Structure 1
Amino acid sequence: MGGVPEPHTGWTFITNHARVLAAIADDQNVRIRDIAAHCRLTERAVQKIIFDLEESGFLSHTREGRSNAYRIEPGMELRHPAEAEAGLTVASLLALLVQDEAHRTDWPVRDDVPADDHH
């Protein structure tokens, strides 16, 4: 599992920052190595993205032994002006990206959207 992931050419709908945030939302004790494998990024790229997310206030972490426990700030508005103007938050983004949102209890899902529309 030690190789560098295959690079992707062309554009994608979801940014690497969103992918990393979704991986952390799935498991807030996830290791950088596992995020990198899941997102098909290098560990260094994941470290940089986590730094960006923490510096912007979307994410924080605490040390627990030899690992990190991450905390996502679900109420933070997304950065793009159109999304911020619409009041879209990290929680609304994660509701679309995270596979296991039905079992999530540590961040709110928008309740102004019918449950069937969350997927």
Structure 2
Amino acid sequence: MGAVPEMQTGWTFLTNHARVLAAIADDPGTRIRDIAARCRLTERAVQKIISDLEQDGYLTHTRQGRSNAYRIEEGTILRHPAEAGLAVEGLLSLLAQHDEGERRGSS
């Protein structure tokens, strides 16, 4: 197995749950190993986060051979009361725009 990712010190704006969900939104067929590398988390942490997201109705998966295909459930809202009524899709859309800008800037 790969080395444990470098640890982040201090606080960040996005939670690990948001990062994992964004990675899945970018590639619904991505492997846990690839999500872990992208989010700089351990595979075990990603498995736990995916389990949390599935348990709370944000995510489902289907088996496709030896892999999983993930599906983000439409209409789910952010959990914190301060964001009441805001859809997860809005956050993911903003993150996707950022990622697309990053890709264009590095080309």
In which range does the TM-score fall when normalised by the shorter chain?
A: 0.7 to 0.9
Paired residue for 1:43?
43
Say which of 77, 89, 105 aligns to 1:91: 89
Deviation track 1:5-26 (CA, whole Å, cap 9, x = no partner) reads: 0111100001000000000000
| 4+ runs deviating over 6 angstroms | none
Deviation of 1:74 after TM superposition, in Å, equals 3.0
- Kindly indicate which of the two structures has a greater share of residues assigned to helix: 2
| Structure 2 spans left out of the alignment, 5+ residues | 101-107
Deviation track 1:76-119 (CA, whole Å, cap 9, x = no partner) reads: 011001111xx21110110111225xxxxxxxxxxxxxxxxxxx
Letter in 1 for 2:34: D
| Structure 1 spans left out of the alignment, 5+ residues | 101-119
Structure 2 matches for 1:49-68, cutoff 5 A? 49-68=49-68
Distance 2:54 2:43 in 1: 16
Structure 2 matches for 1:6-85, cutoff 5 A? 6-84=6-84
CA RMSD of aligned residues (A): 1.1
SS in structure 2 at match of 1:77:
coil
- TM-score between both structures, scaled by the size of structure 2: 0.88
Distance 1:71 1:31 in 2: 13
Paired residue for 2:104?
none
How many pairs does the alignment contain? 98
Deviation track 1:18-76 (CA, whole Å, cap 9, x = no partner) reads: 00000000000000000000000000000000000000000000000000000001310
